[in-house]
Structure 1
Amino acid sequence: MGGVTTIALIERRPDISRSLFTRYWRDVHGVMAARIPGFDCYTQHHVTPLNPATEPFEGIAIVTYRSEEDRAGLIHSEVTQHIHRDEQNVFRRALLYNLGEGASQTVVGNVGAAGHTMFLVVETGADVGAIVASLGEAPLYLAVHDLTGGDPSGWNQTDTSGRVFASLLHGVWPDRASAVTAAEKLPAAAYLLNEQHVMVAGGKPTPVGLRGLDAVRTIEEAGADNQLSDAVVRAVYGLLAAP
């Protein structure tokens, strides 16, 4: 992982339940975002902070692009204005970091590693290199996203007062216990994965990104496989979905 990346750290509105936040971000907001042109891959990570009393984020989105030119759709597409307005429905705050070439690096393994996913959000002032070194060979997968080159204040007039973040570490451990043990030793806020949904893959919306998970589950329960065919998707949505 060394290309062009966008990271979003998302806080739920406190008057919105966790269940509603999860469903809305996945099946409404996420389906809208999957229509933004230029995304190569868009994955939602629904997370729980290891210390809910002090840590605010419940969603982490990672978007990759083939080039900086492809990211222009995030700013200039017709969908973006609706994305901005929709965020206010369930998000208290969305910190969006547009990272340049090389700001996201895979340290070990590959993103498809099986295990327990955990994210570490590192505040400015912490020694990111020392944190990565202290993890040793324990993670099955580890990617480091340098957030210092991004400016979340430019996205939807985001309030960036308070804590400032330097890096996002995305790791996979053999099991939950080993992930928690690692987190408890580190000067970083830890977030454990509850749900992961790939909304765009290979430049195309996935079935979930196209329709939302509840609709896909309903189609599968009914055995209506023809609803997922290229011909139906093209006729109804005017595009092809990722397999």
Structure 2
Amino acid sequence: MSEEKQAAEPMAEAEAGGVDTADLENAAELALTAFCWWRADIPQEVCETYWRDVHGIMFARAPGLWQCRQLRLAANRPDLWPKVQGVSFDAPDAAQPQGMGHGLFLSEADLAAFAGGPLARETIPGDAHNFIGRIGAQLSPPGGGRTLVDRVDDPAMQGPPPVPTFVLCFVPGSGAASAEAFHRYLTEHVAHPWSGHPDVMRLRVEPLPPYERSAMGSPGVAYQWPGEETYLGWMELAVRSEGVVGDLLEGVAAGGLAEQVGAVHAYPVREVYTIVSAGRPTEVGLRGYPAVRTIIAAGVEDQRDEAVLELLFGDAVYGLDRLGRRS
């Protein structure tokens, strides 16, 4: 089977309703995580709206992305955890990111198509300083990120998650022999057991390389990490209730957690906005959220028709199909 046909299959099955969110995400080989700190001289609401409705829609028009989401984060919640000797759950205010961008790419070729286009090479980096004060972007090791369970199953989520959802960020402990060993511990001894809990609705684990500098640079935006504790991995965890989070940690605390993990920071996900899903821009990615919300409130289905969207936005409607993946 040709590489193009293999890459096209998840998209075709998704359009037919035959693939769930975990399968869609796990079709991707590469993941890009961007921790964002907003400019302090602009109201946070303005930064977040600009991120979604101005900056975000540029990604919907750039080739190569399989998935692109924006996660709006609340302050760290150390109160969720039981006390574990040797593990810190506190994070300085200045070190806590307010947003996280997450992009998936099916292949190195798609990542290159994205990075080599004029939007990702020039326009997007040149726009970031308008709302971002600091950024730390990292590419996960190929094939490292995995969605282990997803019972929420909403690949194009827009707005507040339906259940409590957290981005859990992990700082390695003194016993972590290497980044690779830490990644194995995080995946095999934490993420996999947690994913089997009946009250875990979604869990994705994303290993990160040691942070040196941002994988995405933007003129006028600082990329130094704000503090000494940098993240070597993170999880997206959705649960039926907040109390589940503490229960999960109790299950691994006796298994050498303090040797491998120095700190865990839990950022509640206030809202998720999906710009690209299964290789195609969402309506929010094409129009911006306010326009889509208004169209839905008015009950105007004609404006959501693909033929109308194609007239308005041209080939941008088809996303990865522009790279020759249509079967």
Q: Is TM (by shorter chain) over 0.5?
A: yes
Partner of 1:122 in structure 2? 170
Structure with bigger helix share is 2
Deviates more, 1:39-48 or 1:1-10: 1-10
**Structure 1 gap ranges (5+):** none
Partner of 1:220 in structure 2? 296
Deviations 1:97-148 (CA, angstroms, capped at 9, x unpaired): 1223221023444562863211111124366536547857353322211101
Q: Aligned residues, how many?
A: 242
RMSD (Å), alpha carbons: 2.9
Deviations 1:161-202 (CA, angstroms, capped at 9, x unpaired): 443220011111112343477689883111101111111112
Determine whether 1:66 maps to 2:116.
Answer: no
Higher alpha-carbon Rg = 2
Paired residue type of 2:303: Q
Report the alpha carbon displacement of residue 240 of structure 1 after superposing the two structures with TM.
6.2
* Contact preservation (8 Å) 1:44, 1:62: yes
Identity %: 26
Provide the TM-score with structure 1 as the length reference: 0.86
Partner of 2:273 in structure 1? 197
* Contact preservation (8 Å) 1:98, 1:151: no
Paired residue type of 1:224: V
- d(CA) in 2 for partners of 1:22, 1:182: 31
- Aligned residue among 200, 204, 211 for 1:139: 200
Flag the 1:231–1:166 CA change in 2: closer, same or farther, 3 A: same
- d(CA) in 2 for partners of 1:62, 1:109: 17
* Contact preservation (8 Å) 1:96, 1:151: no
SS of equivalent to 2:293 = helix
- d(CA) in 2 for partners of 1:134, 1:202: 28
Determine whether 1:14 maps to 2:40.
Answer: yes
Paired residue type of 2:144: A
Structure with bigger strand share is 1
- Aligned residue among 69, 75, 79 for 2:119: 79
Paired residue type of 2:127: D
Please give the residue correspondences for 1:1-243 in structure 2 after superposition, counting only pairs within 5 Å.
1=26, 3-51=29-77, 54=93, 55-80=95-120, 81-109=122-150, 112=153, 115-125=163-173, 129=186, 131-132=190-191, 135=194, 137=197, 139-148=200-209, 152-156=213-217, 159-161=223-225, 162=227, 163-179=229-245, 187-239=263-315, 241=317
Flag the 1:183–1:43 CA change in 2: closer, same or farther, 3 A: farther
Flag the 1:145–1:197 CA change in 2: closer, same or farther, 3 A: same
- d(CA) in 1 for partners of 2:147, 2:307: 38
Report the alpha carbon displacement of residue 65 of structure 1 after superposing the two structures with TM.
1.5
Deviations 1:197-228 (CA, angstroms, capped at 9, x unpaired): 11111211100000110011122233332222
- d(CA) in 2 for partners of 1:83, 1:183: 39
Flag the 1:183–1:74 CA change in 2: closer, same or farther, 3 A: farther
Paired residue type of 1:116: P
Paired residue type of 1:178: V
Partner of 2:6 in structure 1? none
Flag the 1:120–1:134 CA change in 2: closer, same or farther, 3 A: same
SS of equivalent to 1:57 = coil
Deviates more, 1:169-178 or 1:48-57: 48-57
* Contact preservation (8 Å) 1:141, 1:172: yes
Provide the TM-score with structure 2 as the length reference: 0.65
Deviations 1:79-105 (CA, angstroms, capped at 9, x unpaired): 111110111011112211122322102
Deviates more, 1:34-43 or 1:130-139: 130-139
- d(CA) in 1 for partners of 2:143, 2:315: 31
